[in-house]
Amino acid sequence: MEIKRKLEILADAAKYDASCASSGSRRSTPKGGVGNSTGMGICHSYTPDGRCVSLLKILLTNSCVYDCHYCVNRVSSDVPRARFTPAEVVQLTLDFYRRNYIEGLFLSSGIPRSPDATVEELVQVARSLREEHGFGG
């Protein structure tokens, strides 16, 4: 599956994860206008000192072995599934950052095997961004 399709699925699945104004919304302006938005995973959040920051908000995967009834990613839910590798998330984050689209990453995940294995992959992303790439976002 190509990265763009994974991004569509996993940004859409992440929009339920926490409240933010623009995540997953679609807005189009008249031709030549500015201010379009798409459901491609960039949301805004506020820092403790009141600054507004843009975040890439995605799931590592929306596959999950659990069946929490309130959750769109539950195993019994009939939705398209996708999965990023940790390396893909790192690359996407750095690419978006270099283009000045985002200042940070909001990463969550379904649990495709075990909670421990999932957290290991999340930590792998954070460690690679911080330690290998010096990402301070």
Written as one letter, the residue type at 25 is S
Of 50, 81, 48, 49, the residue nearest 63 (C-alpha): 81
Provide, rounded to whole angstroms, the least separation between the CB of residue 83 and ligand SF4.
13
Provide, rounded to whole angstroms, the least separation between the CB of residue 89 and ligand SF4.
17
d(CA 29, CA 109): 32
* Binding region for ligand SF4 (CB under 6 A): 64, 66, 68, 71, 73-74, 110-111
Provide, rounded to whole angstroms, the least separation between the CB of residue 73 and ligand SF4.
4
Q: Which is nearer to ligand SF4, 71 or 94 (CB)?
A: 71
Provide, rounded to whole angstroms, the least separation between the CB of residue 32 and ligand SF4.
41
User: Which residues 6+ apart lie within 8 Å of 56 measured at CB?
Assistant: 41, 42, 92, 93, 96, 101, 102, 104, 105, 106
Tokens of 37: 């938005």
Enclosing H/E stretch for 59: strand 52-59
